Amino acid sequence: MPQIQQLLTKKINIKKIAQLTGHNASIFALTGGKDTAHFRSGGGEGWVAEWNFNAPENGQLIAKVESQIFSLTNLTNENRLVAGNMNGGAHWVDLDNPDATKNVLAHKKGIYEFLQIGDFLYSAGGEGMLTKWSVSDNKTVESIHLSNQSLRSLAYAENRKEIAVGASDNHIYLLDSETLSLKKMIANAHENSVFTVKYHPNNQHLLSGGRDAHLNIWDLENDFEKISSQPAHWFTINAIAFHPDGQLFATGSRDKTIKIWDSETFELLKVLDTIRNGCHVNSVNALYWSSFNNYLVSGSDDRSLIIWEVV
């Protein structure tokens, strides 16, 4: 059986394309750019930078706010972005007129993630509030109190009309995306804070990573039964990102490593570490998998970004 399993294992090769050092503080957020050849990063010094995969050494500062950026998202079909800071403020940035940036204080603590669904934006707050925003006028529509601890991660399953929320109270909350009513709570989904949640592109599984360093797989078709729990890293799993074709996914951790997994078997395929691969020397906080050459981007406490080619 071990020999057969080995024959089934996917073979991948990973090359480090570039390491970018334009930020002056930890990098907590990554998102796409103005087109597929670009991506954006948000850092602890309050900078939002845009990078070109074709000329990665030439990063451009496109926005600046007065405090640490914990989260970042581009608004669909608009030349605007929203950055969430450590104090609960959402900075609405018009990239055609950056001086008109509007900071709206909506949370009492940091904003850890944004999620856009159509005309609305959702923010996960450090005080346990989920806030719904109108994208058109940058105003809050409603807020719901889910937890007495931080909400750390958001994910959306369009076919289920469902939002998954990972929280520092160890639970995962499943909400109706239209009414925000609670459909289900996965109690004690991890032994500690749930730092990241992602729906699988196959629409059959939810993945979660936590401070307990475990990667958990939940079966959507069987009432979120836990079908797998792996001690995937030594320390907190901060991020999960799927390859554009859905065949692979990556996890990034406070243990300084990035791991590449088979999306079908959930088998570990590759470990990127400091010594063997020139990976980060501090916590890996954010991942972004681009459709441009299928490049994987990682952001870290070491103030750098690394572009990886995975083939």
Is residue 1, in this structure, part of any structural domain at all? no
pTM for the whole thing?
Answer: 0.95
pLDDT, tens digit, for every residue of 60-98? 999 999 899 999 999 999 999 999 999 999 999 999 988
Q: Over range 288-307, report the average pLDDT.
A: 98
Range of the domain at 59: 11-310
Predicted local confidence at residue 11, as pLDDT? 87
pLDDT, tens digit, for every residue of 240-257? 999 999 999 999 999 999
Q: Sorting pLDDT into bands at 50, 70 and 90, what band is 2?
A: very low
Is residue 4, in this structure, part of any structural domain at all? no
Q: Over range 133-152, report the average pLDDT.
A: 96
Chain-centre distance of CA 90, in angstroms? 17
Q: How many domains does the chain have?
A: 1
Predicted local confidence at residue 9, as pLDDT? 64
Q: Sorting pLDDT into bands at 50, 70 and 90, what band is 101?
A: confident
Predicted local confidence at residue 4, as pLDDT? 35
Tokens of 75: 């608004």
Q: What CATH number is attached to the domain comprising 63?
A: 2.130.10.10
Range name among 3-12, 162-171, 183-192 with the lowest pLDDT average? 3-12
Predicted local confidence at residue 291, as pLDDT? 96
Is residue 58, in this structure, part of any structural domain at all? yes
List of long-range contacts for 78-85, beta carbons under 8 Å, 24+ apart: 78/135, 79/34, 81/31, 81/40, 81/48, 82/114, 82/121, 83/29, 83/42, 83/48, 84/110, 84/111, 84/112, 84/113, 84/114, 84/123, 85/46, 85/110, 85/111
DSSP H or E run through 217: strand 214-219
Measured distance CA(7)–CA(16) in Å, rounded: 26
Does the pLDDT at position 278 exceed 80? yes
Q: Over range 30-51, report the average pLDDT.
A: 97
Residue 283, φ and ψ in degrees, nearest 5 = -50, 135
Predicted local confidence at residue 134, as pLDDT? 97
Instruction: Tell me the residue type at 14.
Output: I
Is residue 3, in this structure, part of any structural domain at all? no
Does the pLDDT at position 7 exceed 50? no
Q: Sorting pLDDT into bands at 50, 70 and 90, what band is 1?
A: very low
Asked if residues 111 and 71 have their Cβ atoms less than 8 Å apart, the reply is: yes
Percent of the chain surpassing pLDDT 70:
97
Is residue 200, in this structure, part of any structural domain at all? yes
Q: Sorting pLDDT into bands at 50, 70 and 90, what band is 100?
A: confident
Is residue 6, in this structure, part of any structural domain at all? no
pLDDT, tens digit, for every residue of 224-235? 999 999 999 999
Residue 164: Cβ within 10 Å count = 27
To the nearest whole number, what is the mean pLDDT of the chain? 95
Which residues are CB-contacts of 255 (< 8 A; sequence separation ≥ 6)? 213, 233, 234, 235, 283
The better pLDDT of the pair 4, 187 is held by 187
Residue 237, φ and ψ in degrees, nearest 5 = -90, 115
pLDDT, tens digit, for every residue of 119-135? 999 999 999 999 999 99
Measured distance CA(56)–CA(51) in Å, rounded: 6
Residue 37, φ and ψ in degrees, nearest 5 = -85, 0
Which residues are CB-contacts of 112 (< 8 A; sequence separation ≥ 6)? 70, 71, 84, 124, 125, 126, 150, 151, 152, 153
Is residue 208, in this structure, part of any structural domain at all? yes
Instruction: Tell me the residue type at 20.
Output: L
Residue 222, φ and ψ in degrees, nearest 5 = -125, 50
